[in-house]
Amino acid sequence: MKSASNKPRAGAVRKGRKGPQVASGGQGRQALEGRKPTPKAEDRPYHPAGKRKAAAERFEAAGGKKKTTRDGEAPRPQQQRKAKSSDETEVVTGRNSVLEALRARIPATALYMATRIEYDDRVKEVLSLATGRGIPILEVMRPELDRLAGFDSVHQGLALKVPPYDYAHPLELLDKITASGRMPLLVALDGITDPRNLGAIIRSVAAFGGHGVIVPQRRSVGLTASAWKTSAGAAARTPVAMATNLTQTIKAYKERGVFVLGLDGDGDVSLPNLALAKEPVLIVVGSEGKGLSRLVTENCDAVVSIPISSSTESLNAGIAASVTLYEISKLRAAAKKK
């Protein structure tokens, strides 16, 4: 004889501790219903638009006036490089870089020195300058200095904490150069993201009589500790300006009589005996892979190429800038002798 099944029949009522319960029907009805319309972005508190709306409402409640665009919507905040807080610092490493930073009296908060460091004339002068300015000198173990400077940095036993770099304004930099009676010679970077290239270019600008470097605010490297190190201290003597928009800065320079020369392997002007070398010049260097951007190229007065061997595809951005600066400085020196 077969035993009766314990499974309840469909529609049957089960009795439990909480009273009668329906076995199946109706329990998934809510899941079968259609979803409600998606709320607008500004009505969702977790959405950026909702956060902007809430901030605007709080501003109005506090007595402020809400700014709107022509369409009546609150304007979106501009995408700008995030400013560093006052307590953030950069670390300058290497004996030459630290020494030049101290000689230039760049504000510093602390000098870190490795234990049992080998003393030479540079280390002695660094200690003398730091002591004279009242900068705290902290002796630390090598592993701690490695961590502070970055494990890929060659600190040579010295590291200096300095505030974030204070960039100049491109037009103010040009005004300062012309007011001093000098013939402007500057280098602008277009899409260069390697700090070592920036450091090498700063070093070349200082070596060949240049007056400054311009970096774009976006998609470009800034003056980091690695750039400081590569510049071998030249960053303390060569001003670096930051352009909000490189193309607009180039146009403004051209309006003030500066000739803009872009560097490109396919340029239509050869570097040797460059006719514009004796004029106010802004050299624009592009990235090694992509070269100059389209808008920058269109606004250059001339696109200059450096003759190289056919077996070499291209030059590093720092080397290309160095060769061009040398040629211009040579032509200017020759013109002064005449």
30 pLDDT band, cuts 50/70/90, is: low
- Residue 263 near residue 290 (C-beta atoms within 8 A): no
Burial class of residue 91 (count of CB atoms within 10 Å of its CB; 0-12, 13-18, 19+) = buried
What token pair was written down for 313?
Answer: 């595809």
Instruction: State pLDDT tens for residues 173-199.
Output: 999 999 999 999 999 999 888 888 888
pLDDT at 71 > cutoff 60: no
Least confident of 185-189, 269-273, 312-316: 312-316
Question: What Cα–Cα distance (Å) separates residue 229 from each residue in 109, 141, 320, 328?
Answer: 18, 21, 20, 26
Is the per-residue pLDDT at 42 higher than 80? no
Task: Write the CB contacts of 257 (distance below 8 Å, at least 6 apart in sequence).
Answer: 280
Q: Which helix (H) or strand (E) holds 284?
A: strand 281-286
For residue range 131-173, list pLDDT tens digits in order.
999 999 999 898 888 888 775 567 888 888 887 777 889 999 9
* pLDDT band per the 50, 70, 90 thresholds, residue 326: very high
Question: What's the pLDDT tens digit per position in 52-66?
Answer: 777 777 656 655 544
Contact predicate 106/132, CB 8 Å: no
Using alpha carbons only, give the angle 294, 303, 197 rounded to the nearest 5 degrees. Answer: 75
Q: Is the pTM of this model over 0.75?
A: no
pLDDT reported for residue 23: 54
